[in-house]
Amino acid sequence: MRVLFLGDIVGRSGRLAVLEHLPELKQRLAPDFIVINGENAAGGFGITEKICNELFDAGADVVTTGNHAWDQREIIEHIDREPRLIRPLNFPSETPGRGAGLFETKDGRLVLVINVMLRLFMDALDDPFAAVERVLEDSPLGAAADFILIDTHGEATSEKMAFGHCFDGRVSAVIGTHTHVPTADGMVLATGTAYQTDAGMCGDYDSVIGMKKETPVNRFVTKMPGPRLEAAEGEGTVCGALVVSDDRTGLALGIEPVRVGGVLSPAWPSI
């Protein structure tokens, strides 16, 4: 199976970049399934029903989120109605929405998508390791799902790496989000799980992690509060990864980065 994962969409720049480049990505990479992290899509803070629908109409099969999931309050009701929009699994049990879902490709194969938020330098949520263990007990790779993808939304590279090794051989891919910077460590781990610490953002990289430069620079220089951060509006880069799996086992055969548009050097998968 061929699964395309795109990192955090940040603001209008990121949305436009995804909508512009996704048709070519679909044509050239022929993905069977597309997952996009959309948690910063609405002006850099959260996501709306309208934006969700734009992404689904463009070809996304699932939209994941993270710590900004609830910034746009309208999404609280919508997330219960829309199973293709998922929030971190390890929010408290009474939180609206779902943290995982089993989805069918056009040819009938099953993809389990899990979204978790890690805990180092992040909000204190339930144990993400234990939460995923419970899901995998009920839905193991090769039995309940042909492909299992985990979006690890977290700050610390060490915690993301530990997560990948913990579930190596039991899921198809573990790909990180949240830091908005693509890492160069895409690899297949020892027992068959594709891994990348962070997919990077879909947004304007002439910025400070997707935000207009002046306010965050001033905050760091002066240590004083300033205006609310605003999403940068220049040409966006689409960043993510393509994972190819073995249909017999569900384990990864390869993972390669995707970078299209904007100021970053382009990267087109060859797998």
Q: What is the mean pLDDT of residues 215-236?
A: 94
Catalytic residue positions, numbered: 68
Q: What is the mean pLDDT of residues 93-116?
A: 97
pLDDT class for 23, splitting at 50, 70, 90? very high
Residue type, 217: V
Give yes or no for a contact between 136 and 161, defined as CB atoms under 8 angstroms apart.
no
The reply to whether 268 falls in a domain is: no
- Report the number of distinct structural domains present in the chain: 1
Q: What is the structure's pLDDT at 225? A: 87
Question: Which structural domain range is residue 49 located in?
Answer: 2-260
* Per-residue pLDDT at 15 exceeds 90: yes
pLDDT tens digits, one per residue of 29-63: 999 999 999 999 999 999 999 999 999 999 999 99
User: What average pLDDT does range 223-249 have in this prediction?
Assistant: 95
Work out the angle between the directed axes of helices 49-58 and 11-29 (0-180°, nearest 10). 20
Residue range 149-161: average pLDDT?
98
Average pLDDT value for residue range 179-190: 98
Q: What is the pLDDT of residue 139?
A: 97
Confidence of residue 178 (pLDDT cuts 50, 70, 90): very high
Mean per-residue pLDDT, 89-107: 96
pLDDT at residue number 159: 98
Mean pLDDT of 116-133: 96
Torsion of CA 73, 237, 30, 19, to 10 degrees: 50
271 part of a folded domain: no
Q: Is there a domain that residue 269 lies in?
A: no
Does a structural domain hold residue 225? yes
Domain of 80, CATH number, reads 3.60.21.10
Tell whether the model's pLDDT for residue 114 goes beyond 90: yes
Alpha-carbon distance of 163 to 166, in angstroms, equals 5
Q: Which CB contacts under 8 angstroms, 24+ apart, belong to 210-219?
A: 210/8, 210/10, 210/11, 210/13, 210/14, 210/40, 210/44, 210/180, 211/10, 211/44
